[in-house]
Structure 1
Amino acid sequence: MFAKPKILLSWLALLLSFASLILSSWIILPAPNMFLLTLAVGAPEISPWLFLLNLLFLLLSLFYIRRRPIQRIVCIFSLIGLLICGWVLINIPPTQIQMAKAMKQGLGANYLEQIPPPVRAKMQTHPFDLINFFRGIPLGKTRYQKDILFASPGGVPLKMEVYQPSKIGKYPAVVVIYGGAWQYGNTHANSEFNQYIANHGYTVFAIDYRHAPQYQFPSQLDDVRTALNFIRKHAAEYEADSESMVLLGRSAGAHLAMLAAYQTDAPPIRAVVNYYGPVDLTEGYKTPPNPDPINSRAVLKAFLGGSVEELPNQYEIASPINYLTHPLPPTLLIYGSRDHLVEARFGRQMYERLHNSGNTAVFLEIPWAEHAFDAVFNGVSNQLALYYTERFLAWALFKH
């Protein structure tokens, strides 16, 4: 009487265990196109969920499924999925140890002691918190303003969003620049991060810029510099300290953050935070990643107006790695080892150049992470990145 439902359940378990394995496999598989890149970005970040899912199907196969062929297949699928997800989970402790070591090497063994205790007390207490993974990272209460017009170059309205601590005061400024291959994106990207950082005692400005290919370099850099001048001019209005400012960007936004901060006539910038940003556009064009889901050369052509052979000077001027001829603000670089848009080797090279030229720099690498890993705010990689980012910000802006 109950045989038919059990057979159906067995086949359903087989189908779902296969789907779970496919999802888990994107933790290690490189994505050949932008559609599959979403899976490759997200899979490592939700690996604890995938681990539990694979474990569930393994237990089903061992204790409930009685049809031998199906049982074996479900068991095999689940075991492979568990091994893949487990690779991420068992690498969390050694990765955080390596990141802690890199922070001390870059900022000094006692860098945490330079941060005032009240500031330290508000930070995350663990690099990875499983409870925060499942429930979400608490964001706290903040004040929020949007659609603040700061410029209209060529009639294009450029706006910003501002996130402020709940209490009125004067706070260090964190200027956030979104990514999107210089072609798309908006100021509301990564809003959870902005709210979290504001709740920890910063005024956060999320700024806009014109997009390629309609507007090519240096339009984007000009817009960032205009935004910085606007923020400095109106700092008191937004309870920001114009002399305590950090630029933070992701991908193309990180590239613009470095360029803006590294100019010889840049306003006072205390530090730069670079999440997986391009640093050497010439080399990026000559040696694109493989696979190359975003078509890097097409993106660079759209941004700069041509190939590296046609516009070698533009590629050189647009590469932050070529600005190491004078003292630069301390720089935090965070990359994923499995990034197939901006490979981690570029971040490592930037760190070495900064370090060798006498500048303060920290390079953090996450073994399992793809590009835009922090899109999952409570994910495995972003928890690690956030833990050390808030310590870097506090060191740069609050240190004694």
Structure 2
Amino acid sequence: MFTKPKILLSWLVLLLSFASLFLSSWIILPPPNMSLLTLAVGAPEVSPWLLLLNSLSLLLSFFCIRRRQLQRLACIFSLIGLLICAWVLVNIPPTQIQMAKAMKQGLGENYLEQIPAQVRAKMQTHPFNLVNFVGGIPLGKTRHQKDIIFATPAGVPLKMEVYQPSEVGKYPAVVVIYGGAWQYGNPHANSEFNQYIANHGYTVFAIDYRHAPKYQFPTQLDDVRTALNFIRKHAAAYEADPERMVVIGRSAGAHLAMLAAYQPDAPPIRAVVNYYGPVNLPGGYKTPPFPDPINTRAVLKAFMGGSLEELPNQYQIASPINYLTHPLPPTLLIYGSRDNLVEARFGKKMYERLHDSGNTAVFLQIPWAEHAFDAVFNGVSNQLALYHTERFLAWALFKQ
């Protein structure tokens, strides 16, 4: 007969197996709401840890469960979880091969040779590093300034944060625009990325903008353009080179980055980096994702001030894909295949339109990644994205 402690232990191991499978399942399941979106974003990024958790639960199932039926059930849970996690890890090498190929197709076979050796020496040497996954990506020492007011439109103070290399000098400027459905967020977002990039020889400006629904388009674009003009005017004070500037955005911030850089009267911008940003607002409104955890149409209505039927021209004006009538800065687009907020098909179409219009563009797609995958800075997807982003930045700003 089984004693009560052994029975309790068996059920605890079964619970662990189920919990491991539940967490792992969000690597492949589409999230129906914002709460589960968090799991869907994080699960693939920590898949090596989940692999270990499923392995542990499998071992415990063999040694700690004596009831045959419970043991079989726990093993099934653990094995399914293991297979899901292994799918991510097994796909890292082929994904990296495809991304490296896309970089060469977009920038040229020898694009890395155009980057000075001293710049290449500071880059990550591997697209995925298990040591960095466990211990974190080294950020290095930088100088950091906060709460710099660059404008006060309608009495609203707009602030920026500046990250600079530890040594005084003159560096290319990288302007970073945060996401948040145009409704929330602040310049301190993605601070690890900003510090990392600054440590690699750039002055990073993380800027703010007014939020919907109180302020609607084109207010956000106006604020970004104001920030770019401020940075150009005061570049010397922050040891930045105004003639070597790149704009990077995430999600809604990527939308604003592209719009600002693509304007016919935009200041000189060397390149744009778009992390999972909306590019075709009418298309996103007509065919929202399913499931739709963020309620895409409601977000667009709040941002634009009405529906597509009410404001068709405004939706067109607010779509970067409609600005391909003149030469544009080189553009790097990075999307996750499992993005349930901004589907990768829109990024792919944007890339095709850029390429067909004679503009330089690179499209990178990560098979297992959700929206905001880089929220886990040392996660699997962000390591791949960061590896190629820093090469794109160096090519755009340091190429000889």
When normalised by structure 2's length, the TM-score is 0.99
Q: Give the 3-state SS of the residue equivalent to 1:133 in structure 2.
A: helix
Taking the aligned partners of 1:4 and 1:309, their CA distance within structure 2 comes to: 65
Residue 51 of structure 1 is matched in structure 2 by 51
Residue 37 of structure 2 is matched in structure 1 by 37
Residue 245 of structure 1 is matched in structure 2 by 245
Residue 298 of structure 2 is matched in structure 1 by 298
Residue 110 of structure 2 is matched in structure 1 by 110
Q: Give the 3-state SS of the residue equivalent to 1:246 in structure 2.
A: strand
* Cα deviation digits, residues 286-327 of structure 1 (max 9, x gap): 111111111111111111111111111100000000000000
Q: Give the 3-state SS of the residue equivalent to 1:285 in structure 2.
A: helix
Residue 399 of structure 1 is matched in structure 2 by 399
**Unpaired runs of at least 5, structure 2:** none
Q: Give the 3-state SS of the residue equivalent to 2:389 in structure 1.
A: helix
Within-5 A mapping of 1:69-218: 69-218=69-218
Q: Give the 3-state SS of the residue equivalent to 1:254 in structure 2.
A: helix
Percent identical: 87
* Cα deviation digits, residues 11-47 of structure 1 (max 9, x gap): 1111111111100000000001111100110111010
For residue 65 of structure 1, report the CA deviation from its aligned partner.
2.4
* Cα deviation digits, residues 216-244 of structure 1 (max 9, x gap): 00000000000001101110100000000
Taking the aligned partners of 1:188 and 1:113, their CA distance within structure 2 comes to: 34
Taking the aligned partners of 2:67 and 2:54, their CA distance within structure 1 comes to: 19
Q: Give the 3-state SS of the residue equivalent to 2:91 in structure 1.
A: helix
Count residues with an aligned counterpart.
400
Amino acid aligned to 2:290: N
Taking the aligned partners of 2:201 and 2:63, their CA distance within structure 1 comes to: 52
Residue 351 of structure 1 is matched in structure 2 by 351
Within-5 A mapping of 1:238-387: 238-387=238-387
Q: Which runs of 4+ in 1 moved over 4 A?
A: none
Taking the aligned partners of 2:2 and 2:84, their CA distance within structure 1 comes to: 35
Taking the aligned partners of 2:313 and 2:75, their CA distance within structure 1 comes to: 57
Is the counterpart of residue 230 in structure 1 residue 230 in structure 2? Answer: yes
**Unpaired runs of at least 5, structure 1:** none
For residue 2 of structure 1, report the CA deviation from its aligned partner.
9.3
For residue 176 of structure 1, report the CA deviation from its aligned partner.
0.2
When normalised by structure 1's length, the TM-score is 0.99
For residue 63 of structure 1, report the CA deviation from its aligned partner.
3.0
Q: Assess if the C-alpha contact under 8 Å between 2:133 and 2:380 holds in 1.
A: yes
* Cα deviation digits, residues 103-145 of structure 1 (max 9, x gap): 0000000000000011000000000011111111110100000
Amino acid aligned to 2:244: S
Taking the aligned partners of 2:89 and 2:70, their CA distance within structure 1 comes to: 28
Q: Give the 3-state SS of the residue equivalent to 1:386 in structure 2.
A: helix
* Cα deviation digits, residues 36-69 of structure 1 (max 9, x gap): 1001101110100000000011111123322212
